Amino acid sequence: METAKEQAWDYAIGIVQVDGIKPSDDFLTLVEKEKRGELTSEDIREVLVKKYTVKEDTTGETDA
């Protein structure tokens, strides 16, 4: 029997897929680890923020 946490993740992923968006394999791996208790929701948030945060160039140079 699925836990409430597993049901919530399955529902959320299903809603995204209805819109034609496929979650990345990396994201799905994080979700599975969270379902098993190996990660927390906060751990997932930290991984995603670190992965998708654009670092500001402090040198004043721009890519051309």
Residue 57 within a domain: no
Count: domains in the chain: 1
DSSP 39: S
Number of other CB atoms surrounding residue 5 within 10 Å: 13
The two three-digit tokens of residue 4, written as one number:
């409430």
Q: How far apart are CA 41 and CA 39, in angstroms?
A: 7
Residue 63 falls in which region: left (phi positive, over 0), alpha (psi -120 to 50) or beta: beta
The domain in which residue 32 lies consists of: 4-52
Q: What is the mean pLDDT of each run of 10 residues along the chain (64 residues)?
A: 89 95 95 94 95 80 61
Residue 58 within a domain: no
What does the pLDDT read at residue 1? 74
The two three-digit tokens of residue 35, written as one number:
């379902």
Residue 59 within a domain: no
Residue 62 within a domain: no
